[in-house]
Chain A
Amino acid sequence: GESVGLHLPTLSVQEGDNSIINCAYSNSASDYFIWYKQESGKGPQFIIDIRSNMDKRQGQRVTVLLNKTVKHLSLQIAATQPGDSAVYFCADDLNGNKLVFGAGTILRVKS
């Protein structure tokens, strides 16, 4: 993940549309990646993870895509709902030693 300081990027989507949230990572040796959702005033909530031997993994309404060539990770949320509004951030396992967290992207769902 990467930090963007005090101003997090924001993605606004219409209810029912699909959302795509992107994340870049810096270490080509990372072999485990994870997405979290954090609602205001709450702790981060695990959404989905993926290992580097895969390039796609699907969960309920969510899909994670991993492109190791360009060190890019994305989270796709199908049929976005108001309850999906939150900060989403990725993390990668740096050298199998610790998780490195990005600052996140704000997802706003318009009804």
Chain B
Amino acid sequence: NAGVTQTPKFQVLKTGQSMTLQCAQDMNHNSMYWYRQDPGMGLRLIYYSASEGTTDKGEVPNGYNVSRLNKREFSLRLESAAPSQTSVYFCASSEWRVAQAQYFGPGTRLTVT
């Protein structure tokens, strides 16, 4: 039981390049999330998917898109990377959307130059 897995672990992009961060969970959870974490700040929600087939914007969605590919997988896409998107990105999942513990992946450290 791997929990939440993310790929890649590290990535360096040039400004304007695009990439997709992959996330998968094997806990049969319904809800999945993408967060970014910047030094000294709390996790900020980018997008979430309350259940398969739905996605919604979080606190900081600009510059990102998501796809809930199936119940297990939730990807995050940066269409045109900017230096302000340099961050550590975490995927998480929970059984349901509201008032539930979220379980996190190991993170992707992204640098945009």
Taking beta carbons and an 8 Å cutoff, which residues of A are in contact with B?
1, 3-8, 31-32, 34, 36, 41-46, 49, 51, 89, 91, 93, 96-104
- Looking at chain A's contact residues, the main secondary structure is loop
B40 touching A4 by the CB < 8 A rule? yes
Q: Decide: A89 and B42 in contact? CB cutoff 8 A.
A: yes
Chain B residue numbers with a CB within 8 Å of A3 are: 40-42
B residues engaging A (CB < 8 A)?
Answer: 4, 39-45, 48, 58, 90, 98-107
Return chain A residues, CB-CB under 8 Å to B39: 6
Q: Give B39's nearest chain A residue, CB to CB.
A: A6
Contact A43 B105 (CB under 8 A): yes
8 closest Cβ contacts across the A-B interface? Answer: A32-B99, A101-B42, A6-B40, A43-B104, A101-B43, A44-B104, A96-B98, A93-B99
Q: Are B98 and A93 in contact (CB under 8 A)?
A: yes
Known: A6-B39, A103-B40. A43 touches B106 (CB 8 A): yes
B86 to nearest A CB, angstroms?
15
CA distance A32 to B25 in the complex (A): 23
The reply to whether B98 and A102 contact each other, CB–CB distance below 8 Å, is: no
Contacts A/B (CB < 8 Å), 23 sampled: A3-B42, A7-B40, A8-B40, A34-B101, A36-B104, A41-B107, A42-B106, A42-B107, A43-B4, A43-B90, A43-B106, A43-B107, A45-B104, A46-B101, A46-B103, A51-B99, A91-B43, A97-B98, A98-B58, A101-B42, A101-B43, A103-B40, A103-B41
> B91: shortest Cβ distance to chain A, in Å?
9
Q: Is the CB of B42 within 8 A of A98?
A: no
Residues of A within 8 Å of B106, CB to CB, are 42-43
Could you tell me the distance in whole angstroms from the C-beta of A50 to the nearest C-beta in chain B? 11
A96–B43 alpha-carbon span in the complex (Å): 17
**In the complex the two chains form, what is the Cα distance from A46 to B103 in whole Å?**
7
How many angstroms between the C-alpha atoms of A78 and B66 in the bound complex? 41
- Smallest CB separation, B33 vs chain A (Å): 9
* Assembly CA distance A88 to B70 (angstroms): 32
